[in-house]
Chains A and B, each alone.
Chain A
Amino acid sequence: MSTTETDPRDAPRASGDGGEAEPILSARGVEVAFDAGFAPGGGKGTARAVDGVNLDVSSGEIVALVGESGCGKTTLARVLLGLERPTGGVVLFEGRSMRYGSRDLRSYRRRVQLVQQDPTGSLNPRRTVYESVAEGLRIHEGTTADEAEQVAGALSRAGLRPPERFLSRYPHELSGGQRQRVVIAGALVLDPEVLVADEPVASLDASVRGEILRLLLDLRDELGLSALVATHDLGLAWNIADRVAVMYLGRVVELGTVEEVLAEPAHPYTRALLSVLPDAGDGEPVVLAGEPPDPKQVPTGCRFHPRCPVLASGEAARAGVADLCRTVDPTVLEGGAERRVACHWAAADATGRVRPGVPGSG
């Protein structure tokens, strides 16, 4: 696909300027640990759901947070929404620490809104579309003179046009895609700056998925919305995200642009995940055995080392890092625009820059 004119998608967006501007939303050293019954072998068990994460979301950017169940992405998303207080670290919004008083949280949630996974579960079946969307407005602003106008505007921005057709419908009268648009309208009605979505299209039909993803992209392009999307679906990241953070057992193990991480993965876990996708093409899939360990029993050293194909094949030993893999936990990565990998074998230094020779080091 050659072109002599600039692809509009490459043009710098008005608000971002190459990562120099302060991120709009940021996790700094976030930890979330839960007491979880007894540990095997005695003593109290602590589940380290999020075990030290830095992650920045810049204005007008879509960041995908990918990982399998139990990796901590949902917990991290909830922390960024203020729904969960971290047991360590901070959340910064526009550079200022999040505060957890009820008034602070209420004003925060106007600006950072949640889009949940299952529209059937999140819409009250006994409320009309109008009422579901107006609810957020009423909570934050009470009764307003132009409520109807704002609700219609939000429905329209969410692609339900003309909005009048939908105002008095009930959720069961709508298709899955329409319901998800109503959920998104409910998030948009307060004019937020950031959307945090957890599996926004997982329970939708395949042909509808594209429409909702297109909507999220349009919202970024037209309204300058930023988004953090937690998902297990790497294809979703390819479809709409600018940057992607791969999580494993509570840590971000790889970070970078979608092109860098998904097309040239450096971390052995990311490489394995991509290799087993049904569409992966040539090359042997690396099917990891077993499942990620329990967050109550995070392995010592690099938390991925017990399942790591690079360690198992002897390649780590040949590179002289096998002992590090077993005994030293890679440092927590910086969450900015720089390409990073948390891996003794793939990293050139302690900050996680990718070393030459590993894909993605360019």
Chain B
Amino acid sequence: MTSLLDVRELHVTYRAGNGDVPAVRGVDLSLDPGGTLGLAGESGSGKSTVALALLRLLPDTARIDGQVLLEGENVLDMRWGRLRAVRWVGAAIVFQGAMHSLNPVRRIGEQIAEPMVIHGTVPANRIPERVAELLGQVGLPASRTRDYPHQLSGGQRQRIMIAMALACEPRLVIADEATTALDVMIQAQILALLKRLVAEQGIGMLMISHDLSVLAATCDRVAVMYAGRIVEQGPAREVVHEPAHPYASALSAAFPRIGDPASRLAPRGLPGDPPDPSDPPAGCVFRPRCAVAETVCATVDPPLWPVDPDPEGDSARHAACVHVGPARPLTTTRDGGAP
């Protein structure tokens, strides 16, 4: 089965007035149809840059290197016409703050219909039927077609954005902090909806969030990003409940599980700040904030090592930390050269 999405060695660098800022420094991802992958990280981790890079939605100041294979075709090599055809139809994005992205002076029905009209994926006389169908899929009554955005709540507007994203039946949906800023109950409704749609329609979903517990509940696999790199990846529940990388551990602990005595009156945070992307520290980029850093961490930037590998050296889980790597000190730098 051709994988739906295959990202290889993705690098994104922003050209700024006084030098280049590497926002994404070598990311590999893959997703199969019907699969769900969570991408976790905080501000500055590069996760949203990755999402935008997949459909070339970054500004001109961004230089993208690597490959983004969508059903085998490299998005980064596509001609403009082909790229336009792929957006909305091959892959669609639901953004954060989507509730503010709707046009306030056009009715909901028209806005949901827009991608279908522009891409000509549905004959004009079938569009109203398809709009009603989409509203039904996101749990809203067809009567809402004639409403304006201000007549709907934040949660309802987010559902409209999801309906729009599904309008042209994309094979890949990217949800970028799609439930952040929504109440817990609405978030639960939207996540349940996304899970159901993905399962029913065999869509692949890339879900981006700073909340690891949301990703654990919704995705099969999770990749945690820090300073432009993936520092841990693997089956969602394992990464969230038994993280191997110290940063993944801190991120997981940031949102306590209610009822867990270990976090009662004991909030866990991480001192310091994420590194300045234009001036990262030498060696492991997480070292300044790491509670278990070793001397070797100052000089060596660990690659993603398999966690608890099987006899063939494979593992579903990888973490970029010396504590996960082989027992002897690393003798190669990240790109395989001698130290």
Contact = CB atoms under 8 A, between A and B. Distances in A.
Interface of A: 1, 9, 68-69, 175-178, 205-214, 217, 232, 234-235, 238-240, 258-259, 262-263, 272-274, 276-279, 281, 285, 287-289, 291
A273 B274 CA distance: 33
Given A69-B183, A213-B267, A235-B255, 8 more contacts: A177-B273, A206-B211, A207-B42, A207-B251, A209-B269, A211-B270, A276-B184, A291-B185
10 contacts: A1-B262, A68-B183, A206-B254, A213-B267, A235-B258, A239-B264, A287-B189, A289-B189, A291-B185, A291-B186
A291 B258 CA distance: 24
Interface residues of B, number: 47
A291 B184 CA distance: 11
Interface stretch (B107-115, B163-171, B213-221): B213-221
A7 to B, nearest CB: 10
B188 interface: yes
A180 B187 CA distance: 26
A205 B264 contact: no
Contact of A206 (B210, B258, B271, B273): B210
A206 B225 CA distance: 13
B42 to A, nearest CB: 4
Interface string B247-266: 10011011111111111111
A305 to B, nearest CB: 17
Nearest to B154: A69
Given A276-B184, A276-B188, A278-B216, A235 B256 contact: yes
User: What are the 7 closest A-B residue pairs judged by CB atoms, nearest first?
Assistant: A210-B269, A213-B267, A276-B188, A211-B269, A207-B270, A278-B217, A278-B213
Interface of B: 42-43, 153-156, 183-189, 191-192, 210-214, 216-218, 247, 250-251, 253-271, 273-274
Nearest to B262: A1
A304 to B, nearest CB: 12
A232 B267 contact: no
Contacts of A234: 184, 258
Given A277-B258, A279-B213, A279-B255, A239 B184 contact: no
Contact of B258 (A69, A240, A262): A262
Contacts of B192: 287
B188 A279 contact: no
Contacts of B266: 239
Contacts of B154: 69
A288 B214 CA distance: 18
A175 B155 CA distance: 30
Contacts of A291: 153, 155-156, 185-186
B185 to A, nearest CB: 6
B271 A211 contact: yes
Nearest to B269: A210
B265 A9 contact: yes
Contacts of B267: 209-211, 213-214, 217, 239-240
A263 B258 contact: yes
Contacts of A258: 264
A9 B261 CA distance: 12
Contacts of A239: 256, 263-267
A289 B192 CA distance: 12
Contact of A232 (B43, B184, B189, B269): B184
A240 B264 CA distance: 7
B249 to A, nearest CB: 11
Contacts of B270: 207-208, 210-211
Nearest to B191: A278
B255 A206 contact: yes
A208 B269 contact: yes
A213 B211 CA distance: 17
Contacts of A207: 42, 247, 250-251, 254, 269-270
B185 A272 contact: yes
A247 to B, nearest CB: 12
Contact of A238 (B185, B189, B253, B263): B263
A214 B184 CA distance: 23
A209 B256 contact: no
Nearest to B156: A291
Contacts of A217: 265, 267
A66 to B, nearest CB: 10
Contacts of B183: 68-69, 232
Contacts of B217: 278-279
B258 A238 contact: yes
Nearest to A67: B183
B255 A273 contact: no
A212 B188 contact: no
A274 B185 CA distance: 9
Contacts of B268: 210
A291 B155 CA distance: 9
